[in-house]
Amino acid sequence: MSRIKKLELDEWDQELREMTAADSGTPLEQGIMRMFAHKPEISKGIINFAGALKKHRSLPDRLVELVRLRIAFHNQCRSCMAIRYEDGRNAGIDEDLVCSLENPQEAKDLSDAEKVAIRYGELFATNHLAIDDTIYDNLRKHFSEEEIVELSMTVAWFVGFGRLAATYHMVEELPEAFKDDEEKTLTPWNEESIVVR
């Protein structure tokens, strides 16, 4: 059960509904915004930031989704782990590829650039002070300065809001494995998933 009340659409600020296309989305696609709708003016700023990350994305959708899913594991955000975005699916991410995220540095189906980006995301989520010159030198082998800045902003978004979503405990619309309240570590691999827009 969610720890913050999810507002029904008729309780949302109209502009926020339009910005998020909430009326055409499923409850799961409305996601955390159902809670954020309690503070519409702040939520609009969040939507603008998230929208800019997507609209002005230069990184491949596949890479972004792989990094997101690996961070979701470290955050233990159940909704983040259960969801698969259409962008990622359209970029070729299937459940076999998601399973490679269990040991990404050993995976044969991930590129060197994907492995470096995933490693950066992992460290950002687990031990950000370990991100040193060597990590940035490795990133520079595959990404421009602009892409590294984009990656860092994207990773910060995933870590921060993924952790917030984990504390809100939004599990009602998720597959059964993600609803279980037992204190155990869940994974985005080897579990049922849901594709959203």
- What string of pLDDT tens digits covers the 197 residues of the chain? 899 999 999 999 999 999 999 999 999 999 999 999 999 999 999 999 999 999 999 999 999 999 999 999 999 999 999 999 999 999 999 999 999 999 999 999 999 999 999 999 999 999 999 999 999 999 999 999 999 999 999 999 999 999 999 999 999 999 999 998 777 899 999 889 999 99
How far, in Å, CA of 71 to CA of 74, rounded? 5
Output the pTM of the full model.
Answer: 0.96
DSSP string of 111-135, one letter each residue? -HHHHHHHHHHHHHHH-GGG--HHH
Which residues, in sequence order, are bridge partners of residue 196? 85
Each domain of the chain, given as residue ranges in start order, spans 9-55, 61-196
What is the gyration radius of the CA atoms in the chain, in angstroms?
Answer: 17
Are 98 and 189 contacting, i.e. CB atoms less than 8 angstroms apart? yes
How far, in Å, CA of 30 to CA of 20, rounded? 8
How far, in Å, CA of 195 to CA of 93, rounded? 11
Q: Is 94 left (phi over 0), alpha (psi -120 to 50) or beta?
A: beta
What's the length of the chain? 197
The CATH label, of 3.30.465.10, 2.40.110.10, 1.10.357.10, 1.20.1290.10, for the domain at 61-196 is 1.20.1290.10
Q: How far is CA 113 from CA 1, 15, 59, 94, 141, in A?
A: 38, 39, 11, 19, 8
